[in-house]
Each structure stands twice: as structure tokens, then as C-alpha cells.
Structure 1
């Protein structure tokens, strides 16, 4: 290896150091700079000529290069506060014939946000790898499990990628059946807590008289503490579902835990420190509950800074196609019936339904019709009666004009296809080319 490196000319080595994404600095035994690349100089607002020969501490604020040489121990990704921000540099002693002759420093993450973004990206990539190899499924959801192409879903996924590495609480609001837990678990799986527990508790399913003990724990026999859900999530994430059902008397105690990072079990005055990231969900508007004095305003203001509004399925109808394909494939495999298709009229009927039960209702319907279908095709007659009878037309509940136009366009195309088989005739009636008609038919899965 050393012989091959000798083949590199000084010009090539210089080009590598100058064009790499990192900032570089090299100092001698006296901690004086003998090399620094232009990128680093531009950040430090100093010319290379001014920097060379000076003590590193006179050029780089809060430098610890001299400590690396004194101790002979490398510092990897050690936070370095400089020019009003934190960077994550690596500092490594240079050892020749057993003697420290200098030190080498490089900056990979130029501020903490760079590191957070990369951390989130790495976790997202690992999620895809693990998903493909089925090594870490166990019914746990990841960002790739959030299906949809609508602007609202794309925006939510972008937000999750940004906020996942933080410790901040997250509020998820959405109607029943919108899949709020998938979004909560996606945040956890992209966070630095992914290797620790994801604990959940539904405030609406636990008797109110047991909620405090279940959440905060209880002192038992004056000797030990029976851990509540908060303590069980130590180092990980606690997902409190339907926080709107938590009694106001307990909301104050939860607020104190969020502010002070301590939990007080029942039956004791002792407070126990906890390290937990809180994700909370509600199936109704907490802001409206605050206005009606049904939810504490101080707790609301503590948890609402990052709020994910999950739209109902009827407001992101363009996501229906991907959701149906995903669930149909899953349930077909589970039922041992591969290759099941949905006929055109059945597709149209599913698209026109309003889905008041949201994604959960869609899942239940598809799971049932996979078993009810005769042969390999799902026809209209196997759909539930209430879906066949209720045909939703134009709905103003959609988020955007594009979504509303998409819905109306699909209805018009379906009406023409029901009454005319010749695509050329349909295209002429609509005033579009046959190729455009085929593109629209494909887009609407008609």
C-alpha cells in the first residue's frame, strides 16, 4: 500500500485534499499549522498564507489539536464550538516511528444539523435494507410503510425525516382509522432511540381509575416501584394514544414530567429521573378542546410545537391506488391467493366511496373481499353492500383544487367507459388524443 501511495504526485494529493467535502488542517509538534485547505480558510475568513506557521489556537477558535498531541489519543466526532455553531471534527495524532510528530484534523459535519440529517438518512436507508431482508419487521412500522403520493403525505414524510433525530415531543392529530401509530413508529425508527423500547398506551382503553398507576407507576410494599409506561420507555419513546381522553387531573402531572423529565409514582413523594421521548396522538382537535376548557392550555402549548395533521383518506384520494395495491398484495399472500386482480367497475366503486373509517376501513374491506372473491378477480358484487350503494360524487372536503379536479376527472372518464368501448370515439368526444386518454385511464386505474 505504501509503495502505491508513493506513485501519487504532490499535485494529485493536493487536489484530493482541496476538493474533498471535508475541511483539513495539519499541525507540527509545536502545534503550528503546516497545511490547511482553502475550504477551511474561507470559513475561518483567513488566507492560507496568514494561517501557515501560526499556532493552531491563534487561527481556529477553541482548537484542541495540542491536547491530542499531548495525550496521543484521537478525538472522533468531538463537538467543537466555533463561530457561533457546533461542528463535529475528528482530531488524530500523527505518529512516525513511535513518536508523535504532529496532528491531523478534519471536519466532516460542519454543524450539528448536518449530522442530524445524515443520521436520519442513514436510518432511513437501514430501514429499507431491513425491510427488504425481513430481519426487523415484527409488525413494526418504518417510514417506507407510509404509502401515498399526495402533497400532504409527502410533506409529512419530509417533516418526520427532519424532526425524528430530536428529543422534542410530537403531537399527531387525525380521525380514527388514519393510521396515527404508523407515523409515530416511523418517527421512533428514524430517531437515535430506535434501538430502545417503543412503548404505547391508549388513554381511552384503560379504566380512568387505573390510568395514573399505569402511566406513572406505583410504590409497592414501601420497598419497590412498579414501573409505569413512562419508566418502561426509558431511553426510548412513549406513544400516548388518544391523549384527548386523559383526565384533566392527570394532565398537570404529565406536564410536570414533560418539563422536568421526572416521574412521581403513586404512593411516594420520590421523583425518578427519566429519559423518554413523547409522541402523543388525538382523534379530535386539541385546540378546540382548549377553547372549550376540556384540555389544559399549558399542556397543549407544551406538546403542539410539532404537530402532524394526518388527513382523512377522502382528502387524499390519489393515495388510494397505492394503498389498495399494497394491502391487496399483503392479504393475497396471507390468504394463499396470489395474483388477485380488481376489475374496472370494482376499482371505480372503491374510488367513489367516501371511506369514513379511513385507512383502517379500507384494510378491513380488502381483507374480506380477498377471501370472498371467486377466481382471481374481485368483482363489484363481492364488495360490501354499503360501498356498492353509496356512490360519492364531487366532494369539497379535498385539500386542494388539483385533488378535486382529479376526482371529477375520474368520474367523467368512468361514465364514458361504461357507455362506450371504442377509445378513439371517447377521445374525440372529450377533445383529447387517444394517447392522452390512455394515460388518464392508467392514472385513474380504470
Structure 2
């Protein structure tokens, strides 16, 4: 008896692929396109002849097929931002004799009508993560965290190991490193993924109201009864952002939750059992706060056993171009400037900046630069002043202070003139009057 595959001719198989209720793409080991169906090409505004053989990331906006080929990770129903909206993509590695030889990807929409009808549902889901509270499925999965540098790979591997447990997790990282994304990734991979993910920003809520917000209240009237965030997170995960700003008395209550699994709402004399996993985030080491008396020692030792250290952007520059490209293409699609590109000089300025605000700052700078660009190329002039001025450091120990100051001043003027040949614009950028600026040009023989 012949199998089904033996009875299907190549033309029949191609007919199935062309008319299935999905868009398909297949890539080889180098993530170059081997096959893509016609409807997908129409949506991407290209032809199959142009697409086949091309690197997939040059044809499909924000594609992660190359990641699947490299890592072997399976992406199921992964949000994929393309042409100004989110779609749901599946990506699966293809293996032969245990070796990855390529990857297969599909998108769940076949044409623009399907896209318009279903993407509204996807957008609704994406918007359910609000400041403070998300009641249904979380949004950010592990594969949504961009980057493949060693530091990020290590964090991802740790998340995969600890996610299935109910142990508390401490996430440390500078402001803007995306700590909430990592917290949501842990929740998504846990057995609590179908329960609420609830966020509380301990620094944003006034101290007098934080206890009520966390633990709720009981009373004889409906007005005096309120469910706290612990109740809202029942069965799921409570994310305590900026934990270091929690007042010491409330730290005692949090310690009781961790040790006994109970809370006492305001106005109640009875402990109530809660089933909540705690994930906390801080932007400065808790040990430093503990040593200065701002954080309880017993709570520190209870919560720090599993600590994820999220590296700042300046320490993961191997990921910089990928993250920048993701933000850039998402923004130009959103604002309708699809032919926009970033000048090489602009990218160089972006790379040399120290990014104290990390990934969040980069995202805001990219967005602003796109909006401030009138032509087809993002030039350095679209960047903020602090990004355009390269960091300069004094390294010599053989100069006097006066010599070092003059050297630094000369370097700053030189860098500014390279970026802005117009002397009037350079003077304005440096905050100098025209006469003072020309005196310095003469002094340093510019």
C-alpha cells in the first residue's frame, strides 16, 4: 500500500503550499530563502525571483528565521511586527540526521483581508500589558528578547532553568535594560502562564497608598473593601518593580508572604492564604541598600538566591545593530517611511555613545530620529546633541591640568567640526558666541 506522500506529485504539493491558509518561507543553513509562496511575496511587495536566494532578514521585516537556524529554538505563535502591525508567526528548525539544515516559517494570515480581520485581535492582546496590571496571557516571551551575545544567552539559559519553579527571582539591572520583559518571560515559561501577571511599581505609588495597593482592605461597606495586587495575581505572578523603594514596614509584610504564603488586608485581623510567585526588580544592588540600612537583611537573604543580572547596553554591543535595526524598521513601518535608511556616519555616532538610559533610551532616540528626518536618510543632525558629541577621555598623566583642559577642548571642537562643517551651527551646538568660537579656532589653528 502506497503512502500519501508517494501519491502526491510535486505539482500537487506546490498547489497545497500556495493555497494553504498561511504564508510560508523556507531557508537554508545560512538563512537564505529557498522557497516562499506567492501570496507572501505579494504582501511583501516583492517577487519570488527576487526573494529566493536572498538573506531572509533582507526580505522579511524583523525576521528571526536566522535565530532559529542558529539556536534550534522553536517559535510557536510568536508575535511578529511587520508592516505596522503584529502577526503570529511559527518558526521551526529543519533537521537531517540530527543536524540543522534550515528552518521553516509560517504566518497565520493568507491575504490582506485575513490580516485586517485577525490583526485587530492580536493588537488587543498586545495591549493587555498595561502599567501595573495584566490579567491574561503575558506578551513578552523569551524569543522576544533581542540579542545573541554571551551575556544575554546566559540570562536566557538561566530563565529556562528557573522558570518552572515557584522560587522568587530578583532581577538587577540599570534603568532601561528591559527588566519587565525578562520578568514576563519567566512567567510565560512557568506553570502559571495561564494566570495573571500583575505589576506594581514600588517607586511610583505614594508610600501611604502602597500597603493598600498591595494587600487590599476589608470593611463593612462596599466602599471600604478593596482587592489588592496579591489578590489580583492569585495563582500567577506578582512583579515588584523598584523593590528597593519599598518602605521597611512593608518589607516585613513581604517577608511574611515569602515565608508563610499569607497576607493581612488592611482592617483584617485574619491571615489569608495567597498563591503568588514573586519576581522583583531593582536598578541598584540590593546588597548596597541592605548595608546602608534601607533594605532588611532577612528579606535580602530570602529573595536574592536566584538573581538575574541584566547587562547594560554598553556591555552588550554585539547586540547593538540587531536591536537598532528592530527599533528602526518597526518605527519606519509605523510612520510610513519605508524607504528610510540610516547613514553609516549616524550609525557610528550611535555605536560610540555610552547609552546611560540603555535600550529604552535607544528606542526613544531612534523614534525621534525617524520623525525628525525629511529625506530618505537619517543623518547625524537628527540625533540628540549628547549622542552626536563623542565621549572623550583624559588618559595622560604627563600633562598639567591646564594642558589637559586645552587638549580636551581642542578635541571637542575638532569632533564637532567633523560632524558639522558649518561653523555657525558648530558654535551654536557648543553653546558659544560667534566671537568666542572664532577665538578658539584661531587658538587651536583650525
Question: In structure 2, what is the equivalent of residue 291 of structure 1?
Answer: 291
Using structure 2 for the length normalisation, give the TM-score.
0.59
Q: Provide the C-alpha distance between the structure 2 equivalents of 1:220 and 1:334, rounded to a whole number of angstroms.
A: 48
- Look at both structures and tell me which one has the larger radius of gyration over its CA atoms: 1
Query: Is contact 1:225-1:265 (8 Å) kept?
Result: no
Contact conserved, 1:124 with 1:190, CA < 8 A, in 2? no
**CA deviations over 1:171-193 (Å, ceiling 9, x no partner):** 00111111111111111111111
**Equivalent residue for 1:157?**
156
Tell whether the 8 Å contact from 2:75 to 2:143 is kept in structure 1 after alignment: no
Residues 394 and 200 of structure 1: is their aligned pair in 2 closer, same or farther, counting only changes over 3 Å?
Answer: farther
CA–CA distance in structure 2, aligned partners of residues 127 and 189 of structure 1:
13
Q: Distance in 1 between matches of 2:172 and 2:245?
A: 13
Query: Cα gap change, 1:131/1:307 in structure 2, threshold over 3 Å: closer, same or farther?
Result: farther
Deviation at 1:125, TM superposition (A): 3.7
- CA distance in 2: counterparts of 1:330 and 1:170, whole angstroms: 31
Q: Is the alpha carbon distance of 1:393 and 1:312 closer, same or farther for their aligned partners in structure 2, counting shifts above 3 Å?
A: farther
Aligned residue number for residue 240 of structure 2:
240
Q: Once the 2 structures are TM-superposed, how far is the Cα of residue 376 of structure 1 from its aligned partner? A: 2.2
| Alpha-carbon distance, 1:390 to partner | 3.0
Work out the CA distance in 2 between the residues paired with 1:131 and 1:352.
Answer: 35
1:234-383 equivalences in 2 (<5 Å): 234-383=234-383
Please say if residues 201 and 241 of structure 1, whose CA atoms lie closer than 8 Å, have aligned partners that are also in contact: yes
- The alpha-carbon distance between structure 1 residues 360 and 241, as it changes in their structure 2 partners (threshold 3 A), is same
Give the 3-state SS of the residue equivalent to 2:126 in structure 1.
coil
Residue aligning to 1:400 = none
Q: Deviations over 1:107-165 (max 9, x none)?
A: xxxxxxxxxxxxxx9x9743537842564533521112211122111100111111111
Preserved contact between residue 178 and residue 358 of structure 1 (Cα < 8 Å): yes
* Paired residue secondary structure (1:308): strand
Question: Equivalent of 2:78, from 123, 128, 135?
Answer: 128
| 1:200 matched to 2:199 | yes
Q: RCO greater where, 1 or 2, for CA within 8 Å and sep 6 or more?
A: 2
Which is worse superposed, 126-135 or 145-154? 126-135
Matches within 5 A, 1:105-184: 125-126=75-76, 128=78, 131-132=88-89, 133=108, 135=122, 136-138=125-127, 140-184=139-183
Cα distance in 2 between the residues matched to 1:339 and 1:155 = 36
Label 1:127 to 1:171 Cα distance change in 2 as closer, same or farther (>3 A): farther
**How many residues are matched?**
279
Matched position secondary structure for 2:287 = helix
* Distance of 2:314 and 2:392 partners within structure 1: 10
Q: Which runs of 5+ in 1 are unaligned?
A: 5-120, 396-414, 419-446
Unaligned runs of 5+ in 2: 4-70, 80-86, 90-107, 109-118, 130-138, 396-414, 419-446
Structure 1, residues 379-438: CA drift from partner, whole Å, max 9, x if none? 11111111111336799xxxxxxxxxxxxxxxxxxx9xx9xxxxxxxxxxxxxxxxxxxx
Instruction: Give how far 1:317 is off.
Output: 1.5
Distance in 2 separating the partners of 1:348 and 1:235: 47
The secondary structure found in structure 1 opposite 2:76 is helix
Q: What are the Cα deviations for residues 3-54 of structure 1, in whole angstroms up to 9, with x where unaligned?
A: x9xxxxxxxxxxxxxxxxxxxxxxxxxxxxxxxxxxxxxxxxxxxxxxxxxx
Check conservation: 1:353, 1:392, Cα contact below 8 A: no
Structure 1 Cα separation of the partners of residues 391 and 88 of structure 2: 37
Q: In 1, are the aligned partners of 2:217 and 2:225 still within 8 Å (CA)? A: yes
C-alpha separation in 2, matches of 1:124 and 1:170: 25
User: For the structure 1 residues 328 and 317, does the alpha-carbon distance in structure 2 shift closer, same or farther, using more than 3 Å as the test?
Assistant: same
d(CA) in 1 for partners of 2:278 and 2:76? 23
In structure 2, how many angstroms separate the alpha carbons of the residues matched to 1:235 and 1:124?
27
- Give a deviation string over 1:67-91, Cα, whole Å, max 9, x none: xxxxxxxxxxxxxxxxxxxxxxxxx
Q: CA 1:382/1:174 → structure 2, altered by over 3 Å: closer, same or farther?
A: same
| 1:225 positional shift | 4.2
Aligned mates of 1:124, 1:192 — CA distance in 2: 19
TM-score by length of 1: 0.59
Find the aligned partners of 2:357 and 2:238 in 1 and give their Cα distance: 26
For 1:230 and 1:194, the matched residues in 2 are separated by 16
| CA displacement, residues 246-289 of structure 1 (integer Å, 9 cap, x when unaligned) | 00111011100111111110111111111111110011110111
